Amino acid sequence: MKSKPFVIAEIIKKSLVEELTGDEMAMLEFWINSKEENKQLFDSFKKSHTIEEDLTIINRIDLNQAWNTLEKKGKELKNSNHDWNLKIWIPLIASCFVLCFFFLYQNKTIHNSKIIAIQSTKHKNDVKPASNDAVLILDNGESFDLSNRNNEQLTNNIKLRNDQLEYVKGKYEGGQPKYNTLVVPKGGYYKLELSDGTKVWINAMSRLKFPESFGSGERKVQLEGEAYFEVYKDAQRPFIVQANGSDVKVLGTHFNVDAYNKKVRTTLEEGKVEVSTADHAIILQPGEFAESGDGRLDKGIADLNKDLAWHNNEFYFNKDNIQSIVDQLSNWYNINPKFDQGINRNKVITGSIDRNVPLSQVLEMLEYVSDLQFKIDGNQLIIKNK
């Protein structure tokens, strides 16, 4: 089995001659995005003068001895109380990367070189990523399974078009509002356009309750789970998202609300919002977040890459612990995790990868930067120590 620096080195070599497969590109992007130093190192490999200089040096070095020394140091680090992230391996890779890379560059055939296959063969029952899947429940109790439907009229006021649910704009007949509920299961997501023109992206394991048409007053919706909102601006009718005892009040803006747990996290991308609880209220500016729960309401500077990752079709881990990562995979791929005994679920991982890939590709990345092994068994994901 090839050591990790050699694997990445071979992938970088192939990228320079434009021979990467889709799976190899995913691994390269994961490695580059996991740390700024990796990006700088990759950029340096694309400079021809650097290649020539390092090729001269490489002939003077005993690669095996260098790698054995670094590998021993890596094992010492892994046995200590360090995080399971690229801090363990990447400094070692960076230390001998030039040696490994240019050794391969000289000694491997550049053309038609299918050196490694990143595609996992051990996961016999792979799992596809989340797809358009939801159930719409009308005020009268009638329901529609939207998973295999598109481009059709459901009622006079509701239609499906281009894989999203749309309500007739501006139509309000007075009287008591009719509330509909959109339920998105594990392994699903859905986009919704409300009657006022507001667009909502709803994440897996979430539900949104909303009126079929808004009246002349406040526009209120109720959220369980997570959703991203692009609110249509209407100064006369504030838009309010209610979630777990918190209210997010806006006129027109882009923001995300994560209400999966008892704590509600609101992240503002554009505009301005007011987040309030029974006892507190704060105003958010773009790039800030508010978190409510346990009688508190706090705000701070948001990590937009992380908080909006799902909306941007990414998994983005920034010192996320194993439990949190597996929970995300469970919701997105509709699988049930099972941890073996002895796994420290608080160890953390950093990196990012596209969400629209089979589960096996995500597991390859996680195995690459951790001491964990993953096995797909039906709808169960088994997590073990290596």
Predicted confidence (pLDDT) per residue in 121-131, tens digit: 456 678 999 99
Q: What is the pTM of this model?
A: 0.71
**Between 278 and 172, whose confidence is greater?**
278
Predicted confidence (pLDDT) per residue in 185-212, tens digit: 999 999 999 999 999 999 999 999 999 9
Check residue 96 and give its pLDDT. 46
Question: Which domains, from first to last, does the chain contain?
Answer: 4-107 (no CATH), 131-307 (2.60.120.1440), 314-385 (3.55.50.30)
Predicted confidence (pLDDT) per residue in 32-70, tens digit: 887 777 777 777 666 544 444 444 443 444 445 444 544
Token pair in block for residue 336 = 């049930």
User: What percent of the chain stands above pLDDT 90?
Assistant: 47
- SS3 at position 56: helix
Amino acid letter at 77?
L
